[in-house]
């Protein structure tokens, strides 16, 4: 049995929510955090649960404090504008999926690898 791949998602818009939906279908991937400075956990849960294109999420989705809870698993919601400020390392995030469309270049995406609590690798969606 292989180890889980622990990921975080930066940007919880259309792409970020699709990444989370896809990850939930793969037991080898565990999403432990999302970052979006413009979305509160309650609204993030609502958007995931009631997607206008992909339909209602088939499992359970709620908000609890600074987390969304998807199928019983808590996912920490950060609200940082600067990737260097996101505490990915505190949750043992190995990969970050950069889904904002803002940090598309190598140097900008690499900001996730810097700061006090960085991740190990970044994958850009664009």
CATH superfamily, domain at 5-124: NAD(P)-binding Rossmann-like Domain (3.40.50.720)
> Residue 115: which pLDDT band, with cuts at 50, 70 and 90?
confident
Spell 25-42 as b/e; 16+ CB within 10 A means b: eeeebbbbbbbbeebebe
Residue with tokens 């309650």: 42
Mean per-residue pLDDT for 10-39? 96
The answer to whether the beta carbons of residues 77 and 33 sit under 8 Å apart is: yes
- pLDDT one-digit tens code per residue, 33-70: 999 999 999 999 999 999 999 899 999 999 999 999 99
> Residue 1: which pLDDT band, with cuts at 50, 70 and 90?
very low
Least confident of 47-51, 96-100, 104-108, 117-121: 104-108
């Amino acid at each position: 049995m292989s180890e889980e791949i622990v990921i975080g998602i930066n940007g919880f818009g259309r792409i970020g929510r699709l990444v989370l939906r896809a990850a939930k279908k793969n037991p080898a991937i565990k999403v432990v955090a999302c970052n979006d400075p413009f979305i509160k956990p309650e609204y993030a849960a609502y958007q995931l649960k009631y997607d206008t294109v992909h339909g209602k999420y088939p499992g359970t989705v709620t908000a609890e404090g600074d987390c969304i809870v998807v199928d019983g698993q808590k996912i920490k919601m950060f609200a940082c504008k600067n990737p260097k400020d996101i505490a990915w390392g505190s949750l043992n995030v190995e990969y970050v999926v950069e889904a904002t469309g803002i940090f598309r270049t190598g140097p900008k995406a690499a900001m996730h690898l810097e700061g006090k609590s960085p991740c190990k690798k970044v994958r850009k969606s664009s």
